[in-house]
Structure 1
Amino acid sequence: MKEFSVVANKDATTWLIKAEDVAPIHEFDKRDDAVEKAKEIAAENQPSKLEIFDASNELVEKKVY
């Protein structure tokens, strides 16, 4: 199962989509844009898991595809 996550960068100025918690594969200015794209990527790579974090690095949503 592939794992994807949406996290803020260390300054919380941009949002990153990470695959397998490694290097970012996409970067966005807005969290909503990052979440939308991450959901598309996770759905295209089933079976997969998506974890979405807030600016404080708290898990706010987890989805399985």
Structure 2
Amino acid sequence: MKHYTVTPNKDATTWFVKIEDVAPTEEYDKYDKAINAAVQIAEENSPSKLSILDKYHEVVETRTF
């Protein structure tokens, strides 16, 4: 099962979608855009898990596809 993460940069000015918490695959200027993209990627690569972090780098939601 692949694990995807939506995580902010250190200033929370941009958001990254990461695969297996390694290197970012995409960078987004809006939190919602990053979440939507991550959901789409995770759904296309099911079975997968998505963790969404807030600007404090704390997990606020986990979804399984």
Q: TM-score, normalised by structure 1?
A: 0.98
| Percentage of matched positions with identical amino acids | 54
- SS for the counterpart of 1:46 is coil
After TM superposition, the runs of 4+ consecutive aligned structure 1 residues lying more than 3 A away are none
- After superposition, residues 33-44 of structure 1 pair within 5 angstroms as 33-44=33-44
Q: Which runs of 5+ in 2 are unaligned?
A: none
TM superposition shift of 1:52: 0.1
- The separation in 1 between residues aligned to 2:12 and 2:34, in whole angstroms, is 13
TM-score, normalised by the number of residues in structure 2: 0.98
Structure 2 match to 1:3: 3
Report the count of equivalent residues: 65
